[in-house]
Structure 1
Amino acid sequence: MSGALRVLIVDDDALVRGGLTMMLDGVHGISVVAEAADGDEVCAAADKHTPDVVLMDLRMPRVDGITATRRLRARPRPPEVVVLTTFDTDENILHALRAGAGGFLLKDTPPTEIVDAVRKVAAGDPILSPRITRRLMDRAATQAGAHERARTALESLSPREREVVQAVAEGHANAEIAARLYMSVATVKAHVSSILTKLDMDNRTQIALLAHDAGLA
């Protein structure tokens, strides 16, 4: 990506917004272009300021972060979304990722890790803490019919695409997948794009969820 990463901060707490803005604006290569105090302001702010990444709170007075994420990700060329919240229930995590969020962090996450998450999610790499990932996978695996639905969905993919799905679920980056499967990075990216299209998904996190539901990882 060229130029500074553009970030929109969405939180109903002015002190939180101010703290995040101060922290991120002090980082080379990142610029906070706007703030929003509620989920109902997100789409208009995104249209006006074209952020690359949105840091999204969950609990807000009028429109919650999950609804705002879903609306945002349904639009053409949407920014990536990182949920940043104090509410880490299984339901919140799962609903946020299903809505299209590329990351889920708690507000007590160290500043350096928040910065790292902004950069990685902007580059297409999902961000979840190991604790949250394990809880999410356990919850998804217990949902009625999840395993069978996931296996059926994966049958629509080619054998090579299923290999890429498994590698994504195991947390490998594109370069690692390329080396492992003896293909170019460009080919890996093409496979990932094809998988997302065939499965009607938004990001690699959702691919990983499906793979875990199917028992591939």
Structure 2
Amino acid sequence: MNILMVEDHRLVADAMKVMLAEIDPGIAITPCYSTQHALSVIDSGKRFDLILTDLYMPGIDGIGLLVGLNNRKKRFPVVVISGSDNDKVIRLAMDHGACGFIPKTLPSAEMIAGLRHVLGGGRFFPERFADYDRQLRSGERNTATNQNASGLRPGQKQLQVLQLMADGNSNKQISQIVGISEATVKYHTSQLFKLLSVKNRTSCVREAQHRGLINSFDNESDQLNAVDASIIAAHHVANKSDDTLGSRPV
């Protein structure tokens, strides 16, 4: 899992690294100490599963980073972490496409829960912004304000991984289809196990179908079609050239 962290205070950045290690010990963090540096890294073509940015920094601030990403048509999930809890600033971050806003005064356990939810495809903002977020999302249900990670519904990205898992795809195939690293697929899978209180893929799919989270097979023919699709996907991935696979940053 790759995370770009934009924070001009190195002490705060080091503390964030420790907290992120609790989410995934194998996490890869690219630190940037200015927005200008972050934008240059993004312009290099490197891909990230999440961008964490401070709000107030010398030069271009966190809102400027969001604007820069929008101008570049880059769609990375961005979470703003700030000492400010100002409503106007939070609304401004939301308007410019942030997926989350976490005050630095929030307990670390709740910060971790919020970041995990965003990594799962959800959104995380102070609870008082739930209605405003729903307006921005055109009525889409917002579950990001729930701070108990174990009680959260799977996010959009996790549901996508879940459906592909149910269709018989391997982690490698899912990573190619969704366009994320294989490590991120494994992370989403482990989080799904926790959310659904299961210990393996088979139980995960069955529980998800029982809850109506994904499509279930109506008959044997549907199941065979899914298996055929999985074989075709595997053949497609296996026959991709090494150059093609290697050109995709993870």
TM, length-normalised to structure 1: 0.58
Cα distance in 1 for residues equivalent to 2:213 and 2:115: 26
Residue 27 of structure 2 aligns to a residue whose secondary structure is: strand
For structure 2, which runs of at least 5 residues remain unmatched after alignment? 145-152, 160-211, 216-250
Is 1:11–1:17's contact at 8 Å kept on the other side of the alignment?
Answer: yes
Question: How many Å apart are 1:7 and its aligned residue?
Answer: 1.3
Question: How many Å apart are 1:23 and its aligned residue?
Answer: 2.0
Cross-structure match for 1:111: 108
Cross-structure match for 2:11: 15
| Structure of greater Rg | 2
Cross-structure match for 1:89: 86
User: What is the percent sequence identity of the aligned residues?
Assistant: 25
Alignment map for 1:56-205 (pairs within 5 Å): 56-131=53-128, 133=129, 137=132, 165-166=138-139, 168=141, 185=214
TM, length-normalised to structure 2: 0.51
Cα distance in 1 for residues equivalent to 2:108 and 2:122: 18
Is 1:80–1:101's contact at 8 Å kept on the other side of the alignment?
Answer: yes
Cα distance in 1 for residues equivalent to 2:87 and 2:69: 22
Question: How many Å apart are 1:63 and its aligned residue?
Answer: 0.3
Deviations 1:19-54 (A, max 9, x none): 101221243366142111111122222345422111
Q: Aligned pair count?
A: 152
Cross-structure match for 1:53: 50
**Cα RMSD between the aligned structures?**
3.3
Cα distance in 2 for residues equivalent to 1:74 and 1:122: 23
C-alpha distance 165-45 of structure 1, shift in aligned 2 (>3 A): same
Structure 2 residue identity aligned to 1:67: G
Question: How many Å apart are 1:110 and its aligned residue?
Answer: 1.9
For structure 1, which runs of at least 5 residues remain unmatched after alignment? 141-149, 154-163, 176-182, 187-217
Is 2:123–2:143's contact at 8 Å kept on the other side of the alignment?
Answer: no
Question: How many Å apart are 1:9 and its aligned residue?
Answer: 1.2
